[in-house]
């Protein structure tokens, strides 16, 4: 940190920043590897998250192969299936989605969107990435450990997680998993402090909280939640590590295992569940809120219309964030609890549906009579809304104790959570990548590859997860590698399972097109220019594309309006950038790189 | 989970109070035009580092509140036996109080620009903290010598775990405090050290409060207190 006088108006980011105030890289290493520039860190985070996400994708293929064609693949033993399942779930939720939304998009977009030159603590920000990378490496190492990675399920419930019956339970698998999570949390906390303080203190002049784009609101609130929720996982992991490594009995009851009395005595597995879900439920929204925010901006930009009910959207984001801390026990209905508690948690769970529904209405009303451009980001945003509503409805079913008890631990639950927290956020990730890639590289992603990718992914996701609801209703349990000859399972389930597997493989391979597109377009994509979507937010008004070190050239932009001035009647263009003083304010300070409207071709409503 | 919920309620009260002053009711779509009032970001005037530390301390608070929650949850099971409290802990508590006081003096000295007092206060703060850590280690040895190991009694496991966590946080703080000491003794001007001294003091005060709460929980007073409250209520 640079030492600045701690008092008075000096803390408002000055319009001009002298050369010395900004951290400058001095060599290739500090520029591209040990970089403290949030944009580079963002790309490092995203690259790492996508790489480990690919591993999780391959694991899902292996699981699907086993479920669709049981007995065909010798190497997928039941133990291996559990390991694939655990690693798949854990990687997808934490190492891919959390890291990508907060570490990737958060790092890239927060400073640009609030009009800052960088994060407030760049050095800590860099450490955050390297610790995250270390966490990923430890996780990967567990694949090569003797006995393999843990197979305890992504929820890691004790006592089974550290017993010999579970793969990796008595080997190094579970230890590496716990250590990796602990590292992840430490690294995330470092990054999270940056995101929060940058939003609070790093905003440029004129950028009031209520002028922030919803993307920033979403990422900001999710970060605050993550900062408060991850400690619960941290505590659970540390205590489990104690139980596993030195035989204490925090979670472990007295157990006779293979005829031998274990050293544990009297511990409480339920306590772990409380701690885990105290983190686990907010985690769902930690992934969802950034997605909500990003999708709002995508819809508004590509429908050329201001977001409907901006204030309501902000309140809903904050409200969801607060409420999601008092619903955790809805994951524990089947673990047994006082009926009044069940009632309480069922009620809070259903209340959360209110702000969530408000958001959905507002998206739809934003689209209503908008000038909808079916660009690829827009397609993905629409796909998100549909999928999210779909998953949300089944969520209302599961939020009720009486419905949840029979459906718990069936494929219905798997279908539900893949819809809400698997497919829906992934749609936003794709939409966001197509939307901001031109800013990150200066070139557009290839349109036809993009459209192919979208349709296969969207339709494919439904082909995979929609039938799963039926499979679940029939009673097929989740986390079973094989169904065998179970009387209540009709043959149609087996046919469906084969169908789902084929769909999953197809969707999986379609992602290769996306990956190829990412690399191909760096060189061969269409030139994007500074503001290809003709968007209002500050990241499109930078001094160049990709934005240079320090983001905004010599002078920071001054913000004159909110982020959603699209199709304003009487304006020369169908959007007014946030740093555009507008015609009314003659004599306002001239902003460099300001009104991007001037001189741009007057492409009213043309396909952007 | 009551401890963490109470803590969260506190955090949310602060967040709500702050949000209430953020013009969340304003209608941004009507407000185009130049910024009229400075500071126009409506950001608080806190130094970012202080705000950052504040947020971090909230995370630390959540962490320990969760440990305490776990402690209370585990306590109700049949095999729970209270752990003995080495008397040394009182001395350690005194050391930590001294460290906190010393750092507060350092802040005052830094503001007044008194080089010698600043150096002395920083040094005392660091040394008493090291003494606290040493004392905690001795307390561990004490327990171990009496046959209490981390694995066999949950109350004792909690004791080792929670004191270790708290100690690790002190060690982390000592890294920064040590650096500040070096800078002070190398002759840097107090004005340049004000910020880091203030940050250290803030961190130590909070860790002191955390320790007092933990001490009360580990020694069983917190549970007694809760019991008394319950009896009064019913
Ligand atoms: C192509 C996409 C995907 C496919 C085909 C797929 C498939 C599967 C399958 C077959 C299971 C195991 C079900 C069982 O036997 O109980 C599973 C579990 C899971 N998946 Fe996915 N998945 C996909 C994407 C995702 C994504 C994007 C997420 C991110 C949230 C995710 C999160 C999870 C979780 C949390 C579990 C539970 C693991 C457990 O039971 O411990 N999946 N998935
Ligand atoms: Cu939940």
pTM score, two decimals? 0.92
pLDDT > 70? residue A453: yes
pLDDT > 80? residue A10: no
pLDDT > 90? residue B109: yes
- The residue of B23, B24, B25, B41 whose CB has the most chain A CBs within 10 angstroms, and thus the best one to mutate to test that interface, is B41
pLDDT of residue A15: 55
Encoded tokens for A484: 């065998």
pLDDT of residue A347: 86
Q: Do residues A520 and A446 make contact, with C-beta atoms less than 8 angstroms apart?
A: yes
- Sign (positive/negative) of CA torsion A405, A409, A410, A412? positive
Nearest residue in A to B43, CA atom = A201
- Is the bond leading into A269 cis (omega within 30 degrees of zero)? no
Instruction: Could you please state the CATH topology (level 3) that the domain comprising B83-233 is classified under.
Output: 1.20.120
Helices A122-144 and A38-68, axial angle in degrees (round to 10): 20
Encoded tokens for B31: 């407000």
CA separation for the pair A563, A551 (Å, rounded): 18
> Quick check: CB of A86 below 6 Å from ligand 1?
yes
Q: Do residues A127 and A212 make contact, with C-beta atoms less than 8 angstroms apart?
A: no
pLDDT of residue B91: 96
Element (H, E) at A261: strand A260-261
CA separation for the pair A180, A133 (Å, rounded): 10
pLDDT of residue A607: 35
**3-state SS, residue A156:** coil
Q: Give the bridge partners for A555, in sequence order.
A: A16
How many Cα atoms within 13 Å fall on the side-chain side of residue B198?
21
Nearest residue to B209 via CA among B166, B154, B172: B166
pLDDT of residue A320: 94
Q: What is the ipTM of this complex?
A: 0.94
For residue B83, give every residue at least 6 positions away whose Cβ sits within 8 Å of its Cβ, in sequence order, or none.
B143, B148, B153, B155, B156, B158, B159, B218
Q: Do residues A391 and A417 make contact, with C-beta atoms less than 8 angstroms apart?
A: yes
pLDDT of residue A457: 96
> Quick check: CB of A291 below 6 Å from ligand 1?
no
Measure CA of the first residue to CA of the last residue in chain B; give whole Å: 21
pLDDT of residue B152: 79
> Quick check: CB of A421 below 6 Å from ligand 1?
yes
Measure CA of the first residue to CA of the last residue in chain A; give whole Å: 41
Give me the helices (H) in A303-338, please: 310-323
How far away is chain B from the Cα of A79, in angstroms, using its nearest Cα? 30
- DSSP-assigned letter for residue A152: S
Q: How far is CA A459 from CA A288, A382, A602, in A?
A: 21, 13, 36
Encoded tokens for A386: 């549909």
Q: Is B58 on the interface with A (CB under 8 A)?
A: yes
pLDDT > 90? residue A96: yes
Give me the helices (H) in A35-106, please: 38-68, 78-90
Encoded tokens for A494: 């087996």
A128-144 per-position pLDDT tens digit: 999 999 999 999 999 99
In this prediction, residues A281-304 reach a mean pLDDT of 94
Q: Do residues A501 and A66 make contact, with C-beta atoms less than 8 angstroms apart?
A: no
Q: Do residues B53 and B203 make contact, with C-beta atoms less than 8 angstroms apart?
A: yes
**3-state SS, residue A555:** strand
pLDDT of residue A597: 37
**3-state SS, residue A587:** coil
- Inter-chain residue contact A203 with B47, CB threshold 8 Å: no
Which residues in chain B have Cβ-Cβ distances shorter than 8 Å to A11?
Answer: 39, 43, 45-48
- The residue of A124, A192, A200 whose CB has the most chain B CBs within 10 angstroms, and thus the best one to mutate to test that interface, is A200
CA separation for the pair B53, A191 (Å, rounded): 13
pLDDT > 50? residue B174: yes
- pLDDT band with cut points at 50, 70 and 90 for residue A605: very low
Encoded tokens for A32: 């591209």
Note the residue count of chain A: 608
**3-state SS, residue A24:** coil
Encoded tokens for A263: 């050293």
CA separation for the pair A545, A530 (Å, rounded): 6
Nearest residue to B77 via CA among A251, A201, A339: A251
CA separation for the pair A238, A140 (Å, rounded): 20
B49-58 per-position pLDDT tens digit: 999 999 999 9
Nearest CA to ligand 1 atom 9: A60
Q: Do residues A128 and A45 make contact, with C-beta atoms less than 8 angstroms apart?
A: no
Token pair 């608080």: residue: B44
Cα dihedral value A591, A592, A594, A600, nearest 10: 140
Q: How far is the CA of A513 from the centre of ligand 1 (A)?
A: 22
Helices B48-75 and B154-185, axial angle in degrees (round to 10): 160
Cα dihedral value B14, B18, B24, B30, nearest 10: -170
Q: Do residues A307 and A253 make contact, with C-beta atoms less than 8 angstroms apart?
A: no
Long-range contacts formed by B126-130: CB under 8 A, 24+ apart: B126/B99, B126/B174, B126/B177, B126/B178, B126/B181, B128/B95, B128/B96, B128/B98, B128/B99, B128/B102, B129/B95, B129/B96, B129/B99, B129/B170, B129/B173, B129/B174, B129/B177, B129/B204, B130/B174
Which of A160, A422, A425, A429 is the best mutation target for the ligand 1 pocket, counting ligand atoms within 8 Å of the beta carbon and taking the most?
A422
How many Cα atoms within 13 Å fall on the side-chain side of residue A561?
25
Nearest residue in A to B155, CA atom = A250
Three-state SS letters, A484-511 = CCCCCCCHHHHHHHHHHHHHHHHHHHHH
A44-80 per-position pLDDT tens digit: 999 999 999 999 999 999 999 999 998 888 889 999 9
Q: Do residues A526 and A449 make contact, with C-beta atoms less than 8 angstroms apart?
A: no
Q: Give the bridge partners for A566, in sequence order.
A: A575
Mean pLDDT over the full length of chain A: 87
How many Cα atoms within 13 Å fall on the side-chain side of residue B104?
9
**A266 or A221, which is more confident?**
A221
Q: Do residues A552 and A117 make contact, with C-beta atoms less than 8 angstroms apart?
A: yes
Which region holds residue A349: left if phi is over 0, alpha if psi is between -120 and 50, else beta? alpha
> Which ligand 1 atom is nearest residue A67's CA?
10
Buried b / exposed e over B185-214, threshold 16 CB at 10 Å, is eeeeebeebbbbbbbbbbbbbbbbebbebb
Q: Do residues B43 and A11 make contact, with C-beta atoms less than 8 angstroms apart?
A: yes
**3-state SS, residue A481:** coil
B81-95 per-position pLDDT tens digit: 888 888 999 999 999
Q: How far is CA B33 from CA A318, A357, A561, A562, A598, in A?
A: 27, 33, 6, 10, 18
Total beta-carbon pairs less than 8 A apart between chain A and chain B: 197
For residue A299, give every residue at least 6 positions away whose Cβ sits within 8 Å of its Cβ, in sequence order, or none.
A307, A363, A366, A367, A378, A381
CA separation for the pair A464, A476 (Å, rounded): 16
pLDDT of residue A596: 37
DSSP E strands in A95-246: the ranges are: none
pLDDT > 70? residue A584: no
Q: Do residues A136 and A55 make contact, with C-beta atoms less than 8 angstroms apart?
A: no
Token pair 């061969």: residue: A524
Token pair 């939409």: residue: A431
CA separation for the pair A204, A12 (Å, rounded): 7
B23-49 per-position pLDDT tens digit: 777 888 887 765 554 445 556 678 889
Domains and CATH numbers, chain A: 33-254+267-582 (1.20.210.10)
Q: Which ligand is nearest to the CA of A346?
A: 2
For residue B169, give every residue at least 6 positions away whose Cβ sits within 8 Å of its Cβ, in sequence order, or none.
B60, B207, B210
């Amino acid at each position: 940190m640079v030492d600045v006088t701690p008092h008075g108006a000096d803390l408002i980011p000055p319009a001009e920043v002298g050369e010395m105030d900004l951290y400058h890289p001095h060599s290739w290493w500090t520029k591209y590897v040990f970089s403290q520039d949030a944009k580079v860190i963002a790309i490092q985070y995203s690259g790492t998250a996508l790489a480990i996400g690919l591993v999780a994708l391959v694991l899902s293929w292996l699981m699907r192969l086993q479920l669709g064609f049981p007995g065909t693949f010798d190497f997928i033993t039941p133990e291996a299936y559990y390991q694939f399942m655990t690693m798949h779930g854990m990687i997808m939720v934490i190492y891919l989605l959390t890291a990508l939304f907060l570490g990737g998009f958060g790092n890239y977009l927060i400073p640009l969107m609030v009009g800052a030159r960088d994060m407030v603590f760049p050095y800590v920000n860099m450490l955050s990435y390297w610790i995250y990378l270390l966490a990923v490496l430890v996780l990967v190492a567990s694949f090569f450990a003797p006995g393999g990675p843990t197979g305890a399920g992504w929820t890691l419930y004790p006592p089974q997680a550290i017993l010999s019956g579970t793969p990796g339970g008595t080997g190094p698998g579970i230890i590496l998993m716990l250590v990796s999570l602990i590292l992840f949390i430490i690294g995330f906390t470092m990054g999270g402090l940056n995101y929060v303080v940058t939003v609070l203190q790093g905003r440029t002049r004129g950028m009031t909280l209520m002028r922030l784009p919803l993307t920033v609101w979403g990422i900001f609130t999710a970060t605050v939640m993550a900062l408060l929720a991850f400690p619960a996982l941290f505590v659970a992991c540390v205590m489990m590590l104690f139980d596993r490594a030195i035989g204490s009995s925090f979670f472990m009851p007295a157990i006779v295992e293979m005829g031998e009395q274990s050293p544990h005595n009297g511990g409480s597995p339920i306590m772990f569940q409380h701690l885990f879900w105290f983190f686990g439920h907010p985690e769902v929204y930690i992934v969802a809120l950034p997605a909500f925010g990003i999708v709002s901006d995508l819809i508004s930009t590509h429908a050329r219309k201001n977001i409907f009910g901006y204030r309501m959207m902000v309140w809903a984001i904050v409200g969801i964030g607060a409420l999601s801390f008092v619903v955790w026990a809805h994951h524990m209905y089947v673990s047994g609890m006082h009926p009044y508690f069940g009632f309480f948690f069922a009620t809070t769970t259903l209340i959360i549906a209110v702000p969530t529904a408000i958001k959905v209405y507002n998206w739809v009303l934003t689209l209503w009579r908008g000038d909808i451009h079916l660009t690829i980001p827009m397609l993905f945003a629409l796909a998100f809304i549909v999928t999210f509503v779909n998953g949300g409805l089944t969520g209302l079913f599961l939020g009720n104790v009486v419905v949840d008890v029979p459906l718990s631990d069936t494929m219905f639950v798997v279908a539900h959570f893949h819809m809400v927290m698997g497919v829906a956020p992934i749609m936003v990730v794709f939409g966001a990548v197509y939307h901001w890639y031109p800013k990150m590289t200066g070139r557009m992603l290839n349109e036809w590859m993009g459209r192919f990718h979208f349709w296969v992914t969207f339709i494919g996701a439904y082909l995979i997860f929609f039938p799963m609801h039926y499979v679940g209703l029939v009673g097929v349990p989740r986390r079973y590698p094989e169904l065998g000859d179970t009387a209540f399972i009709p043959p149609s389930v087996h046919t469906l399972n084969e169908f789902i597997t084929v769909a999953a493989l197809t969707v999986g391979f379609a992602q290769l097109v996306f990956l190829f597109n990412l690399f191909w377009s760096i060189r061969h994509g269409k030139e994007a220019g500074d503001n290809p979507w003709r968007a209002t937010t500050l990241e499109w008004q930078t001094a160049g594309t990709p934005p240079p070190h320090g983001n905004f050239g010599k002078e920071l932009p001054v913000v004159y309006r909110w982020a959603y001035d699209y199709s304003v009647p009487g304006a020369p263009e169908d959007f007014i950038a946030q740093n555009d003083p507008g015609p009314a304010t003659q004599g306002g300070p001239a902003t460099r790189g300001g009104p991007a409207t001037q001189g741009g071709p007057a492409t009213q409503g043309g396909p952007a | 989970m009551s401890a963490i919920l109470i803590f969260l309620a506190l955090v949310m009260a602060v967040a709500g109070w702050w949000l209430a002053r953020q013009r969340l009711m304003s209608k941004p779509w009507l407000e185009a035009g130049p910024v009229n009032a400075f500071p126009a970001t409506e950001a608080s005037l806190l130094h970012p580092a202080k705000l950052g530390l504040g947020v971090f301390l909230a995370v630390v608070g959540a962490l320990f509140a969760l440990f305490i929650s776990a402690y209370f949850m585990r306590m109700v099971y049949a095999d729970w036996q209270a752990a003995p409290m080495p008397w040394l802990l009182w001395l350690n508590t005194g050391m930590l109080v001294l460290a906190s006081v010393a750092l507060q003096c350092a802040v005052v000295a830094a503001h007044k620009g008194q080089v010698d007092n600043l150096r002395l206060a920083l040094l005392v703060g660091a040394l008493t903290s090291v003494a606290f850590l040493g004392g905690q280690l001795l307390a561990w040895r004490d327990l171990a010598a009496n046959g209490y190991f981390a694995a066999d009694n949950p109350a004792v496991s909690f004791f080792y775990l929670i004191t270790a966590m708290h100690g690790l946080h002190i060690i982390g703080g000592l890294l920064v405090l040590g650096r500040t000491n070096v800078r002070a003794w190398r002759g840097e001007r107090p004005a340049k050290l004000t910020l880091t001294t203030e940050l250290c003091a803030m961190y130590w005060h909070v860790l002191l409060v955390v320790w007092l709460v933990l001490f009360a929980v580990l020694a069983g007073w917190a549970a007694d207190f809760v019991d008394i409250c319950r009896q009064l209520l019913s």
